[in-house]
Copies of this chain bind each other. A is one copy, B any other.
């Protein structure tokens, strides 16, 4: 951390800052510049920078080191490639995760999976727990749903991706799912993240609606600190003043994350835009910008979907999209 003093800061003020830093276990390196004195704080453990900011004569505090380490590309320059059976995420192959918003029935999953298989999908998604804004809406099938998606996935040789909502659900998810997803609202549920760090299954972390990229990577760090290094970041839109789309899908987060971190990044254009006719353009954009994969809502018959049908693709739309991506992916060194 660097503490920049005001141009007219007095010796006493400078000393007071140095003393404070040292009282917290840091070394203080004072460097008097032509215009301003800068004090470096090195070696301590933890300090609230605002405590320093409030000392007289302090102009600005600058955090030098990023708050994450394990997730940082400086720490590990090579891309992380996560392997589960015959699927790799973060490598040359695009990770295409598809399926309905919610698991509704065995028949629905079966019909959807059968369609998806034709387009080569190896990762199927579906929600089992759906706490909804309205208490009258369908809330998901729970464990029953997980059993269904597991059975269908096994039938078609697919892997299961599903969202875990609470710590108490982790054991259940470890039994049925191959990849555990953390939703945007739980991105800073640190207790949940910590527990997932003790598991040995890959974790997808969706970006919070108002999360800065640095905070999002920090959430990955939380999981990694527990020992689980298989974390996948998922961009799904941020909240801005624009109301024409449900959220603003931040495509530029892809190259930004690629520079800061070695972790795979995928994109969810279904939630990012909220409307089916925006999903294909944004999927193509995400891949063209270098994303490692996509997570898409597809339903064998969206008009009958109990949840988010409006943002779900028809199977033939998904097939068309895959055709487009087969052309775009090689431009960024990927294949599908």
Contact = CB atoms under 8 A, between A and B. Distances in A.
A47 B250 CA distance: 29
Contact of A62 (B62, B243, B303): B62
Contact of A51 (B168, B222, B309): B309
Contact of A74 (B8, B51, B275, B303): B8
Contact of A136 (B46, B282, B287, B327): B46
A40 interface: yes
A208 to B, nearest CB: 8
A53 to B, nearest CB: 7
A64 B29 CA distance: 17
Contacts of A155: none
A259 interface: yes
Contacts of A136: 45-46
Interface stretch (A108-116, A174-182, A184-192): A184-192
B166 A191 contact: yes
A25 interface: no
7 contacts: A2-B38, A29-B33, A131-B191, A238-B241, A244-B256, A285-B288, A287-B288
